[in-house]
A = this chain, B = another copy of it.
Amino acid sequence: MSINKNTEFSFLESLRNDFRLDLIGDDCAVLPRSEDTDLLATTDTLVEGIDFRLEWAVPELLGKKALAVSVSDVYAMGGSPEYALSVISVSKNLWKDDFASRLMTGMIEYAKSVGVQIAGGDISETRSDASVTVTVLGSAPRQLAVPRSGALEGDHIYVNGTLGGAGAGLKLLESGARIDNSDPGIRNLIQKQLAPEPSPLAINRHLVDAMIDISDGLVADLDHICTASGVGAELFAEMIPIEPDIERTGFDRGKALEFALRGGEDFRLLLTSPSDDLENIPGSELKRIGRILSKSEKLSIVEEGVRSSLNRKGFEHFS
């Protein structure tokens, strides 16, 4: 992860173009495995001071999150995670504490709960900030992994859970609140930031044209789908399932929508489908939130009948 996703994106794009690394550019690399199965592979890192802070980290939850963000990438291809390899880098001081073993305990417990086996890893000393890097391997039926590039004009856009909780949780942590707060709503939002729980696709993959997980934020990740697919899109503000605890804990509606659009790290699935009634599939948890448009349409959001263009930096009302 990076606080400058734009730069990372450009760098990876330039690498791909320069070196014809055709495998790069989706949530997971899709590699040949057997006659009927593809291998999915993805790796992510969480760095102290950038992705987490020791002052509020709970080592067990950090271990869970480090694995969850890569499990989420496998779910985002419609795949099943199977194995994980983890690299932990810690200072001598943290090593003397039980930070690393608590982190691994949290990772292993979460791994069991999602059917992942920890298959290997490495532990290193650092002179300074800690980090944890996890590679997850999974599988998908051959040539049926769901890319981010398949969205078609007219598709409906869905998300499989509430949004904004992780961003609001981060804001609360930055304001001094902690996971042991007495308010259950605040605890819930902080939990969503510290230990997100991605859910797999619970409907038939043939109903889905394109999919990505929401790590950078709804707008940024929808933009990734649009760029990869060569399409535009519109969101319907009133239909976005904003995490209810955000307003309950004192944020106003505008701030709550902003967390949902740009907070990031909710690790929900964002998908497009020609079907307009996926919400009715029991257990899917899907909410319809927008529509795929033609390439000529810029990303926009419609709220109370007013359309505003969405860019990755902020709002811009049509004049």
Which A1-41 residues have a C-beta within 8 angstroms of B? 1-4, 7-8, 11-12, 14-15, 19, 21, 23-24, 28-29, 31, 33-35, 37, 39, 41
> Quick check: is A249 within 8 A (CB to CB) of the other chain?
no
Chain B residues contacting A193 (CB-CB under 8 Å) are none
Kindly list chain B residues whose C-beta atoms are within 8 Å of the C-beta of A83. 23, 29, 31, 41
Contact of A43 with B122 in the complex, beta carbons under 8 Å: yes
Distance, CA A73 to CA B50, complexed state (A): 31
Q: Is residue A121 contacting chain B, with contact meaning CB distance below 8 A?
A: yes
| In the bound complex, CA of A41 to CA of B86 (Å) | 11
A137 at interface by CB-CB < 8 Å: yes
A5 to B: closest C-beta gap in Å: 10
Residue in A7, A48, A117 with the greatest tally of chain B CB atoms within 10 Å = A117
B89 touches A45 (CB 8 A): yes
Q: Are A23 and B89 in contact (CB under 8 A)?
A: no
Is there contact, CB below 8 Å, between A23 and B128?
no
Interfacial chain B residues near A12, Cβ < 8 Å: 121, 123
Is A29 a contact of B119 with CB atoms below 8 Å? yes
Distance A303 CA – B31 CA, assembled complex (angstroms): 50
In the docked arrangement, what's the CA distance between A272 and B12, Å? 42
**A107-137 Cβ-contact flags toward B at 8 Å (1 or 0):** 0100000000111111111111101010101
Establish whether residues A11 and B100, one from each chain, have CB atoms under 8 Å apart when the complex forms: yes
A8: contacting residue among B39, B123, B128, CB under 8 A: B123
Contact among B7, B23, B28, B119 for A31, CB-based, below 8 A: B119
Residues on A lying within 8 angstroms of B by beta carbon are 1-4, 7-8, 11-12, 14-15, 19, 21, 23-24, 28-29, 31, 33-35, 37, 39, 41-45, 47-51, 82-83, 85-87, 89, 95, 100-101, 104, 108, 117-129, 131, 133, 135, 137
The 8 A-B pairs at the shortest CB distance, nearest first, are namely A34-B34, A29-B119, A128-B128, A23-B119, A135-B135, A29-B120, A43-B85, A49-B127
Identify 5 new A-B residue pairs, CB closer than 8 A, beyond the known A15-B118, A47-B125: A8-B122, A12-B121, A23-B83, A33-B34, A128-B128
Instruction: Give 26 pairs: A residue, B residue, CB < 8 Å, sorted on A.
Output: A1-B122, A2-B123, A2-B124, A2-B125, A11-B123, A12-B121, A19-B108, A23-B83, A23-B117, A23-B119, A24-B118, A29-B119, A33-B39, A41-B83, A43-B86, A43-B121, A43-B122, A47-B124, A47-B126, A49-B126, A50-B124, A50-B126, A126-B131, A128-B129, A129-B129, A131-B131
